């Protein structure tokens, strides 16, 4: 028992400390993901050590102190994504249809063939914009049935797990497909015209994750997220960035993205809305995102039922205000975040001018 507690305590210390190094290797970056699970482990370890270890045991207080520090540190990252935190995005005060945009983001999983489940969700929720990730030609052939009601589209069917499609009820002007960092990983960009006549700058992303089967380092993913953040920073027009970002809401990279872009996260103060892994309840975290400028308030955000993919679909309904909402503040920028972001982007040889800026 004492040996097991000691091993668990050492493991907890290592996985808690790893992300502090900011090293891009996938083993280090993967420790950003299961912070809720690590917090649960720290709490369980504290309780077991308090009950099972004798008070005269040499390591008793050290184990308890380690579990306490690790628990507090993990909670610092995940508590903002619970109802205990102040909401970053205010609730919408209007139901005006023309001022709202509903976005359904779904990583369909290329090998998944349950297209009817997704079409059923589209019929039920009637999103203005459907974004699919990992969609290949097979998926495109079947999703094209949506064009009767969603006639505007951007299509990039690929069989490498990075295909992407956008179907929209609302006009998409200046649609562009770009390969910002990697030659086989696309992103999509367009200017969406709302029913009210307002224009929204849209960016749809699905960067490759750091993993033993993808990229050994997170540098490519981080560079794509951060160069898009830099491109929308200070934009006076409404902006939405959505997709499967292959990064959790509470990671240091996502925090940098929010600091630099100034975009808001409607999850803050509401919940985690964990979208991955749909098939493993004990290993879930938020990988699919909708970030937006302070021009919007939130009417609804919801994780929808499984369609057979390893991701749950994410539905968000945003209400465009007549002007930016001053009470909604993103994370404050700091020099360290700016310098680190500049270094990551420069290392990957991508520049802000490479990111389409529809509407400019």
Q: Kindly report which listed range (47-61, 111-125, 189-203) carries the lowest average pLDDT score.
A: 47-61
**42 and 178 housed in the same domain:** no
Q: Is residue 359 part of a domain?
A: no
CATH number at residue 217: 3.60.10.10
Within the chain, what is the greatest distance between any pair of CA atoms? 74
Write out the chain in H/E/C secondary structure.
CHHHHHHHHHHHHHHHHHHHHCCCEHHHHHHHCCHHHHHHHHHHHHHHHHHHCCCCCCCHHHHHHHHHHHHHHHHHHHHHHCCCCCCCCCECCCCCHHHEEEEEEEECCCCCCCHHHHHHHHHHHCCCEEEEECCCHHHHHHHHHHHHCCCEEEEECCCCCCCEEEEECCCEEEEEEECCCCCCCCEEEEEEECCCCCEEEEEEECCCCECCCCECECHHHHHHHHHHHHHHCCCCCCEEEEEECCCCCCCHHHHHHHHHHCCECCCCCCCCCCCECCCCCCCCECCEEEEECCCEEEEEEEECCCCCCCECCEEEEEEECCCCCCCCCCCCCCHHHHHHHHHHHHHCCCCHHHCCCCCC
Q: How many Cβ atoms are within 10 Å of 267's Cβ, its own excluded?
A: 26
Q: What's the half-sphere exposure (Cβ side, CA atoms, 13 Å) at 179? A: 8
Please state, in angstroms and rounded to a whole number, the distance separating the CA atoms of residues 316 and 300.
Answer: 6
Q: How far is CA 120 from CA 114, 123, 127, 152, 306, in A?
A: 10, 5, 12, 19, 11
Handedness of CA 51, 52, 53, 56 (dihedral sign): positive
Residue finishing a domain among 31, 46, 81: 81
Residue finishing a domain among 50, 81, 112: 81
Distance linking the first and last C-alpha atoms of the chain = 64
Percent of the chain with pLDDT over 90: 85
Between 51 and 75, the more confident residue is 75
Q: How far is CA 7 from CA 13, 14, 37, in A?
A: 10, 11, 17
Asked if the model's pLDDT at residue 281 lies above 70, the reply is: yes
Quote the domain boundaries for residue 32.
Answer: 2-81
**225 and 303 housed in the same domain:** yes
Q: How sure is the predictor about 327, in pLDDT bands with cuts at 50, 70 and 90?
A: confident
Q: How many Cβ atoms are within 10 Å of 55's Cβ, its own excluded?
A: 7
pTM exceeds 0.85 for this model = yes
Tokens representing 213 are: 């089967």
Tokens representing 41 are: 């482990």
Q: Is residue 91 part of a domain?
A: no
Mean pLDDT of the chain: 94
**321 and 211 housed in the same domain:** yes
pLDDT mean over 215-224: 96
pLDDT mean over 166-176: 98
- Taking only the tens place, the pLDDT of each residue in 15-61 is 999 999 999 999 999 999 999 999 999 999 999 888 877 766 667 78
Q: How sure is the predictor about 313, in pLDDT bands with cuts at 50, 70 and 90?
A: very high
Q: Cis (ω within 30 of 0) for the bond into 277? A: yes
Strand-pairing partners, residue 298, are 91, 318
**48 and 183 housed in the same domain:** no
Asked if the model's pLDDT at residue 72 lies above 80, the reply is: yes
pLDDT mean over 219-246: 96
Tokens representing 44 are: 């369980």
**128 and 56 housed in the same domain:** no
pLDDT mean over 134-156: 98
**21 and 103 housed in the same domain:** no
- Looking at residue 325, what is its pLDDT? 61
Going by C-alpha positions, the residue among 96, 6, 2, 29 that lies closest to residue 248 is 29
Tokens representing 264 are: 């808001």
**113 and 221 housed in the same domain:** yes
Q: Is residue 88 part of a domain?
A: no
Residue finishing a domain among 81, 107, 122: 81
Q: Is residue 87 part of a domain?
A: no
**29 and 109 housed in the same domain:** no
Tokens representing 360 are: 């400019």
Q: Is residue 86 part of a domain?
A: no
**218 and 122 housed in the same domain:** yes
**178 and 37 housed in the same domain:** no
pLDDT mean over 143-154: 98
Q: Is residue 186 part of a domain?
A: yes
**36 and 148 housed in the same domain:** no
The total domain count for the chain is 2
**209 and 304 housed in the same domain:** yes
Q: Is residue 63 part of a domain?
A: yes
Q: Is residue 90 part of a domain?
A: no
């Amino acid at each position: 028992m004492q040996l097991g507690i000691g091993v668990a305590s050492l493991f907890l210390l290592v996985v808690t400390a790893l992300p502090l190094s900011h090293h891009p290797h996938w083993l280090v970056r993967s420790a950003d993901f299961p912070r809720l699970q690590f917090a649960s482990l720290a709490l369980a370890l504290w309780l077991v050590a308090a009950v099972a270890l004798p008070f005269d045991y040499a390591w008793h207080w050290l184990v308890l102190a380690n579990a306490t520090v690790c628990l507090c540190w993990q909670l610092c990252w995940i508590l903002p994504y619970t109802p205990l935190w102040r909401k970053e995005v205010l609730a919408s005060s209007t139901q005006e249809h023309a001022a709202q945009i509903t976005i359904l983001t779904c990583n369909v999983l290329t090998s998944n063939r349950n297209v009817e489940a997704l079409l059923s969700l589209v019929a039920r929720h009637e999103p203005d914009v459907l974004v699919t990730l990992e969609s290949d030609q097979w998926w495109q052939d079947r999703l094209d049935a949506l064009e009767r009601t969603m006639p505007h589209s951007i299509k990039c069917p690929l069989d490498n797990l990075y295909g992407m499609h956008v179907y929209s009820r609302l006009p998409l002007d200046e649609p562009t497909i770009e390969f910002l960092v990697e030659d086989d990983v696309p992103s999509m960009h367009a200017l969406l015209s709302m029913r009210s006549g307002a224009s929204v700058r849209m960016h749809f992303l699905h960067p490759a994750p750091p993993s033993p089967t993808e990229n050994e380092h997170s540098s490519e993913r981080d560079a794509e997220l951060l160069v898009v953040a830099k491109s929308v920073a200070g934009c006076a027009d409404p902006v939405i960035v959505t997709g499967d970002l292959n990064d959790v809401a509470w990671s240091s990279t996502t925090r940098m993205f929010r600091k630099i872009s100034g975009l808001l996260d409607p999850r803050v103060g509401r919940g985690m809305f964990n979208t991955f892994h749909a098939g493993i309840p004990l290993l879930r975290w938020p990988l699919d995102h909708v970030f937006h400028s302070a021009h919007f308030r939130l009417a609804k955000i919801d994780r929808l039922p499984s369609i057979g993919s390893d991701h749950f679909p994410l539905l968000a309904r945003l209400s465009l205000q007549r002007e930016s909402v001053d009470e909604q503040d993103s994370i404050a920028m700091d020099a360290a975040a700016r310098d680190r972001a500049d270094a990551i982007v420069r290392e990957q040889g991508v520049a802000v001018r490479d990111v389409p800026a529809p509407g400019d």
